[in-house]
Amino acid sequence: MLPSNVVVRTCPGTWNGGAEILPSEEGAVATAVDKRRNEFAVGRACARAALSELGVPPCPIPSGLHREPLWPPAVVGSITHCPRFCAAAVAIRASYHSIGIDAVIDEALPPGLLAYIAVDEEQSWLTGAPGDIHWDRLLFSAKESIFKAWFPLTRAWLGFQDAMVTFSANDHAFWARLSRPLPHTCGGTRELRGRFMLADGLIFTAALVKSRIQTTP
């Protein structure tokens, strides 16, 4: 689903063997319940494994003020976890301005939530959407990935209604029209593109903001 120059590492969401929370990461989960601490530890373990594949030595990945992962200077990345799955994706900053990934259980959204996350055009499309896919949940996940790719570049909130997503079912792709543009250093575009896949009862989405000069294919 992701290009070859993006390193992805995954593990079961309940695994905690060898996963640790480093001292400088502890503040993000100091008062969290055990379930949240385990998710955090597993996510950081996936992230450090992915960084190692990039040649980055093991290092802390603390959290910012908005709970976003703070990556080493030369790296961009994203972490996701749901009840049965955890993943981290990282790449060299020279190749990508940002990455956003998300994983969710493949099931319908709770009643009433669709009106909160979907603009009118999306709701109209969903009424006739093709195939046996929970498109409402996929839309939710795509917007989560979009926000994760957006926020590190802008440090600004992007609500569900601030992105209109269009899907290409045949290509397993999506693109989003944003209410506000990305910074000029990232091309100043109002469009983000992404990919999705379904496997093992899960939905996976990813959004990428490419650098203007790619260092690898």
Distance CA 103, CA 83 (A): 10
**Percent of residues, the chain, with pLDDT higher than 70:** 94
pLDDT of 217 above 50: no
Q: What is the mean pLDDT of the chain?
A: 93
139 is in an annotated binding site: no
pLDDT at 12: 81
210 is in an annotated binding site: no
Instruction: Please name each of the domains of the chain with its CATH number.
Output: 1-96 (3.90.470.20), 103-207 (no CATH)
pLDDT of 215 above 60: no
Average pLDDT on 119-127 reads 97
20 is in an annotated binding site: no
pLDDT at 213: 53
103 is in an annotated binding site: yes
144 is in an annotated binding site: yes
Q: Confidence band (pLDDT; 50, 70, 90) for 42? A: very high
Take residue 79 and report the two structure tokens written for it.
Answer: 């972490």
pLDDT at 15: 65
Helix (H, G, I), strand (E, B) or coil at 112: coil
66 is in an annotated binding site: no
Distance CA 19, CA 42 (A): 6
pLDDT of 203 above 60: yes
Distance CA 207, CA 172 (A): 12
Phi/psi of residue 152, each to 5°?
-60, -25
- Burial, 56: exposed, middle or buried (Cβ in 10 Å; 0-12, 13-18, 19+)? middle
Q: What is the 3-state secondary structure (H, E, C) of 20-89?
A: CCCHHHHHHCCCCCHHHHHHHHHHHHHHHHHHHHCCCCCCCCCECCCCCECCCCCEEEEEEEECCEEEEE
Altogether, the residues listed in the chain come to a count of: 217
Average pLDDT on 46-75 reads 96
pLDDT of 106 above 60: yes
pLDDT of 120 above 60: yes
158 is in an annotated binding site: yes
44 is in an annotated binding site: yes
pLDDT at 14: 66
